[in-house]
Amino acid sequence: MSNQFWNQVKSKYQLGSLIHGKVEHHAPFGIFVDLGDDTVRGIIQIVDCVDSGDMTSEMYPDIGSPIGAVVIGYTEDDRNQVWLSVKPSVLQKALVHLKIPATSDR
């Protein structure tokens, strides 16, 4: 795909942004997500599902269920994938933007 195509994808699905889709397919390595976009699909790898412990197939969300995830990358080849994460720690950062107070030097 062209640089122009990927620039448009990256503009629409910005790194760190929270997006919504529907669970489309389960695979041994993760979950495919329908983003409602004919040009790309989302993918959540197993390592991007839980902060600790093991992700099992019983823990996968049901096919067709809505899912919110954070954009963490792209597969810039003919697979046209937007990489997503549903790790609680990543979702927390996307949902809650903490304001860190400035420290003063005394």
Residue 5 CB-half CA count within 13 A: 13
Burial call 6-35: b when 16+ CB within 10 Å, e when fewer: eeebeeebeeeeebebbbbeeeeebbbbeb
Residues 6+ positions from 5 with CB-CB distance below 8 Å = 39
Contact 78, 58 (CB under 8 A): no
Tokens of 46: 């197993």
- Domains along the chain? 3-95 (2.40.50.140)
37-79 pLDDT, tens digit per residue, is: 999 999 999 889 888 888 877 888 999 999 999 999 999 888 9
2-29 pLDDT, tens digit per residue, is: 889 989 999 999 999 999 999 999 998 9
Residues 6+ positions from 34 with CB-CB distance below 8 Å = 21, 22, 23, 24, 41, 42
